[in-house]
Amino acid sequence: MLSTKTNNGRYFEDFTLNEVIQHAAPRTITAGDCALYLGLYGSRNPLHCSQPFAQSVGYKTTPVDDLLAFHIAFGKTVPDISVNAIANLGYADVRFIQPVFVGDTLSTSSQVIGLKQNSSGKNGVVWVRSTAVNQQNQPVLSWVRWVMVHKNNLDSPAPATVVPELPDFVAPEHLTISSDLSAKKFDRTATGGQYFWEDYQASERINHAAGLTINDSDHSLATHLYQNNARLHFENLYFLKDINVMDAVQIQKGKRLVYGGVAISMCRALSIDGLENAISIVAINAGTHANPTFAGDTIYCVTEVLDTWRLPNSDFGALRLRMVGIKNMSPAHLTEFKTDKGYHPNVVLDLDYTVLIPRKGNY
């Protein structure tokens, strides 16, 4: 007697405009999560590994790495939103609203804010605004993403087309700067960085020297840690699921697609070289996973400074940055990331994000 209790996820016709989906598996973040994340990417940002440094900038203790919190909050949405996705089309308006500390419990919900069936009638685009709250029900993260999802029943009627208006970037006045944060005692010895907000200018390009080779075990550990259960990250045989056993044994095994968030974390850790004092991410303005990555690829990173904002009432300024992830190629050898034909095949990530960095007069 075959059970129908397994969850095959939502198809395009299962999403309704404005509905709110509460995602399962609330998560209490522990010191163990932070250590494993550090082991995966090796970040040297003292805000997340040194309690005295965190206290010197005004926090009670070390906040959890911004991207660890994001990936965990994001992971909860996967079973409900993107398990039947054909493509993750983009992110927008990602706001890091308040810091997350060890012991905090994150829960995530998503509201459907846009729907558009594709002309083929076989699939459609779903826009969701997701919000993660802590155990006091305070929002800590908020973001929009949109995915292309299969229809299961091709006869189901197309919904009314609603395409949400999204900002090109999170404007400086919408950035949330913790009132605890102060640069008065900022210890540049702890960061190892000598450059501050005034030292960066738009159009500056930083070719970060170091790279990082991806292992299957690494990205699998990371993606499990985020409780992201998208099958294509975990199963060599996923794409072969409909062929029979003997064939599966004969055919060369498939590869596991690396979760896009892995490249973001790698690039963030690599880009600390030259951005040592940019200790916090406050927004992701837009993001594209331009090409897939697999185990064996070595990831490099380039940063371009897009804009610099002074920020009123804060010791910190903001840098709007472009983070470009490149596979198997030195940043020095790649000048054009994207042409009118699309992305260079070695570009894996194009992320527009905003960081905080002390201004010189304030530390």
Residue among 192 and 342 whose Cβ is closer to its own copies: 192
Query: Which of 220, 306, 309, 362 touches its own copies (CB under 8 A)?
Result: 220
Asked whether the beta carbons of 55 and 107 are under 8 A apart, the reply is no
Find the distance separating the first CA and the last CA of the chain, reported in whole Å.
69
| Token pair listed for 56 | 């010197």
Q: Confirm or reject binding of residue 11 to its own copies (CB under 8 A).
A: no
Distance CA 45, CA 63 (A): 11
Judged by CB under 8 A, the number of residues near its own copies is: 97
Query: Which of 10, 23, 151, 289 touches its own copies (CB under 8 A)?
Result: 23
Minimum separation from the CB atom of position 84 to its own copies (A): 12
Instruction: Render the burial of 203-223: b for 16+ CB within 10 Å, e for the rest.
Output: eeebbbeebbebebebbbebb
In whole angstroms, how far apart are CA 132 and each of 76, 182, 226, 314? Answer: 9, 25, 14, 25
Minimum separation from the CB atom of position 183 to its own copies (A): 17
β-strands 347-358, 280-288 pairing: antiparallel
Position of tokens 């998208």? 230
Distance CA 286, CA 92 (A): 5
Where in 140-159 is the site for its own copies (CB under 8 A)? Answer: none
Position of tokens 């000598």? 194
Minimum separation from the CB atom of position 303 to its own copies (A): 8
Minimum separation from the CB atom of position 123 to its own copies (A): 20
Where in 238-297 is the site for its own copies (CB under 8 A)? Answer: 238, 241-242, 244-245, 248-249, 253, 256, 273-276, 296
Q: Confirm or reject binding of residue 190 to its own copies (CB under 8 A).
A: yes
Q: Confirm or reject binding of residue 122 to its own copies (CB under 8 A).
A: no
Distance CA 338, CA 344 (A): 6
Residue among 117 and 265 whose Cβ is closer to its own copies: 265
- Piece of 84-92, 118-126, 148-156, 192-200 that binds its own copies (CB under 8 A): 192-200
Q: Confirm or reject binding of residue 215 to its own copies (CB under 8 A).
A: yes
| Token pair listed for 219 | 């990205």
Query: Which of 11, 17, 158, 204 touches its own copies (CB under 8 A)?
Result: 204
Q: Confirm or reject binding of residue 111 to its own copies (CB under 8 A).
A: no
Contacts of 357 (CB under 8 A, 6+ apart): 196, 197, 200, 275, 277, 278, 279, 316, 317, 318, 319
Asked whether the beta carbons of 132 and 77 are under 8 A apart, the reply is no
Residue among 106 and 125 whose Cβ is closer to its own copies: 106
Distance CA 98, CA 268 (A): 19
How many Cβ atoms sit within 10 Å of the Cβ of residue 17?
14
Q: Confirm or reject binding of residue 138 to its own copies (CB under 8 A).
A: no
Minimum separation from the CB atom of position 213 to its own copies (A): 4
Q: Confirm or reject binding of residue 328 to its own copies (CB under 8 A).
A: yes
Q: Confirm or reject binding of residue 185 to its own copies (CB under 8 A).
A: no
Where in 53-82 is the site for its own copies (CB under 8 A)? Answer: 53, 62, 79
Site track for its own copies across 79-108, x = CB under 8 A:
x-----------------------x-x---
Asked whether the beta carbons of 82 and 88 are under 8 A apart, the reply is yes
